Amino acid sequence: MAYNYKKIISVNFILLVHFLVFLLLTNSEIGEAALCKRASQTWSGMCTTTHNCDNQCKSWENADHGACHWGGGQRKCYCFFKC
């Protein structure tokens, strides 16, 4: 029985390329910028509504988004920026 080694190598190479593309597409960190969290410089008082914190961070501090999180024993408004 004769094997066509060129065809076998070609098929294996194509499978390898497809596998590498699959790995690149499924990696969630590729293409996404890391976000850094910083307490809002403009928010005062306890943060109770993430929607309001988000709006303030975007409007006043040019952040990507904002959210209420616990910090220092109270809920604070944190703004998220690209690192």
Query: For residue 58, what are the domain limits?
Result: 35-82
Question: With contact defined as beta carbons under 8 Å apart, do 40 and 53 qualify?
Answer: yes
Instruction: Tell whether 45 is covered by a domain.
Output: yes
Record the pTM.
0.61
Alpha-carbon distance of 71 to 22, in angstroms, equals 39
Instruction: Tell me if residue 37 falls in helix, strand or coil.
Output: strand
Q: What is the full per-residue pLDDT of the chain (83 aa) written as tens digits?
A: 566 767 767 766 676 666 556 666 665 455 567 899 999 999 999 999 999 999 999 999 999 999 999 988 899 999 999 99
The CATH number for 67's domain is 3.30.30.10
Domain count for the chain, please give it: 1
CA distances from 12 to 8, 17, 73 (A): 6, 9, 57
